[in-house]
Amino acid sequence: MPTPGHGVVVAVTIALSAALVAGSAATGGGLVTLLVLLLAVGALVVPVALVGTLWARARPLTRALFAAAGAACLLLLVWAVVRIVDVLPTVTFPASG
């Protein structure tokens, strides 16, 4: 059964991902920005996994909140991908070997 603690984890990780995507513009482009954006996408794994795991046992109101969280994750994912496509041409990878 989902608990308020699960909701807190979902909300915090979504907020963290949003802050990383929004703050990535301040890093000025390049490899660091790309890494921040990839971290933001990675942070979305936690709420998606929690919602996916708890969906079957959730009540209708909780499912509605989970659906809203899923929509927020989808929007953040699209935003992050748009930013990654925008930043990728400016990335200079370190020379290997």
Per-residue model confidence as pLDDT tens digits over 22-74? 999 888 878 899 999 999 999 999 999 999 999 999 999 999 999 999 999 99
Q: What does the H/E/C string look like for the chain?
A: CCCHHHHHHHHHHHHHHHHHHHHHHHHCCCHHHHHHHHHHHHHCHHHHHHHHHHHHHCCHHHHHHHHHHHHHHHHHHHHHHHHHHHHHHHCCCCCCC
Q: Binning pLDDT at 50, 70 and 90, where does residue 96 land?
A: low
Q: Binning pLDDT at 50, 70 and 90, where does residue 93 land?
A: confident
Rounded to two decimals, the pTM is: 0.88
pLDDT value for 30: 87
* Residue 94, CB-side half-sphere exposure with 13 Å CA sphere: 4
